[in-house]
Amino acid sequence: MTEQLSDYRQWLASIKARLRSVQIKAAVAVQTELLQFYWDLGSDIVKRQKSSTWGDGFLKQLSQDLMAEFPDMKGFSRRNLELVRQWYVFWTSLESITKQLVSQLCSIPWGHNLAIMSKAETPDEALYYVRNTLEYGWSRNVLVHQIESGLYQREGKAITNFQTTLPVPQSDLAQQVLKDPYVFDFLALTKEHTERELENGLVQHVTKFLLELGSGFAYMGRQVPVLVGEREFLLDLLFYHARLHCYLVIELKVGDFEPAHAGQLNFYVKAVDEQLRKEGDQPTIGLLLCKSKDKLVAEYALSDIAKPLGISEYQLTRSLPESFKSSLPSIEDIEAEIGMLSSKRES
């Protein structure tokens, strides 16, 4: 027992020394150094807990000792030490764990790491969110939104004809950019909403719409006029993609996909290519967003079209009939009711 206590004290002293070293380097890279410390600490905890002599009170004691030595530092509660251990175990269970991956993990905030570990369903999904957080600089709220909206499962899933209408690697990148379905959970539309209502809602919440579209999209306008012959046609929504270097025309349909929709969108894409596309721009892409689609019908409709088109569904997860909206309590009503119940219990 005495030998074990001596061993613990020596190990605790080494932890304190390492942590002081972290504090010295804090001005340069607080987050990275701290997470690298967490990683090493997780490794130490796992190794020591493999010994039966280290009982259940081990993390509790370690937490007390570290908080006593570093009272101004957060992150040494027993619960957080357990999370440090879980984080290390989660990633070291991968056969593909590398120093580069550990460096990536330590380059994103601890809160991001915990969100990914707790919400991602598979290691591949977790890796996807780590790399995208690094590439796009997502805040924690944006990261959680992307995970909860199933971005990993939706990205690159649109039905397209890009393989036959775009050169490599443009076709692969364009395929990756489009999703299926698109989730517009920031809209509160009636079940029988019109295409104009959907368009208005997306434009009114254009920041959230751009977030759902993904990185690289720039909003160019709505109901954009193009003149063909003596007739004027209006594009529902027009975007430019910075990475693809091309215009993207979005056509909205509130019903099921019909083959005629592809022909209409093909016409709009050709008009943009002829009238707006400049030297250096890649071929314009069309994206048709519809409430639902038959996959085989969509594939048939795109098979002989020369312009690059994609077809995706959209979802309104907060869509409610107007009759329900008026009868449901507001958030303020619910909070007031909870407050009244709490007051009654106290009295």
Residue 344 confidence (pLDDT): 47
What are the sequence ranges of the domains in the chain?
A: 2-152, 155-322
Residue 1 confidence (pLDDT): 65
The class of domain 155-322 in CATH terms is: alpha beta
**Regions of the chain short of the pLDDT cut 50:** 27-28, 318-335, 338, 341-342, 344-345, 347
Distance, in Å, from the CA atom of 213 to the CA atom of 177, rounded to the nearest integer, reads: 8
CB 117 within 8 A of CB 109: no
One-letter amino acid of 298: A
Q: CA-CA distances (angstroms) from residue 140 to 13, 121, 128, 129? A: 34, 18, 15, 11
Residue entry with tokens 């959970």: 185
Residue 110 confidence (pLDDT): 93
Residue 339 confidence (pLDDT): 54
pTM recorded for the entire structure: 0.78
Residue 25 confidence (pLDDT): 55
Q: Which two tokens stand for residue 185?
A: 């959970």
Secondary structure (3-state) at 257: coil
Residue 230 phi/psi, 5° resolution? Answer: -105, 10
**Pairing of β 182-183 and β 309-315:** parallel
Residue 231 confidence (pLDDT): 96
Residue entry with tokens 């083959």: 259
Q: CA-CA distances (angstroms) from residue 247 to 135, 226, 270, 280? A: 23, 14, 11, 12
Residue 336 confidence (pLDDT): 53
Distance, in Å, from the CA atom of 249 to the CA atom of 222, rounded to the nearest integer, reads: 10
